[in-house]
Amino acid sequence: MTRALIEYVAPWLVEHPDAVQIEEIENERGTLVVEVTVHPDDVGKIIGKRGRIIRSLRTLAKASGQRDGESITVEVVD
């Protein structure tokens, strides 16, 4: 569910939507890490001023994960 949410929202935030790639990785603590890779010119857009956009994406992912009983975080990879 969380991956679908990020896949839907992320392309609307960047200028190169075809370059958006999403990968899910489970870390050693059992937290699901959703890695969002974007075009180098779009890194600032996905993070936003003072990190507001990425913070919002993390909040949405966290809320979605809590509904399913999972711990989720979102990271931007360039």
The CATH number linked to 61 is 3.30.300.20
Which two three-digit tokens encode residue 23?
A: 């990968």
Rounded-to-integer distance, Cα 41 and Cα 27, Å: 28
- What is the extent of the structural domain holding 58? 2-77
Q: Give pTM, 2 decimals.
A: 0.86
Predicted confidence at residue 24, as pLDDT, reads 93
Number of domains in the chain: 1
Predicted confidence at residue 2, as pLDDT, reads 79
Predicted confidence at residue 1, as pLDDT, reads 73
pLDDT in tens, 21-72: 999 999 888 889 999 999 999 999 999 999 999 999 999 999 988 888 889 9
- Angle 38-29-51 from CA coordinates, rounded to 5°: 35
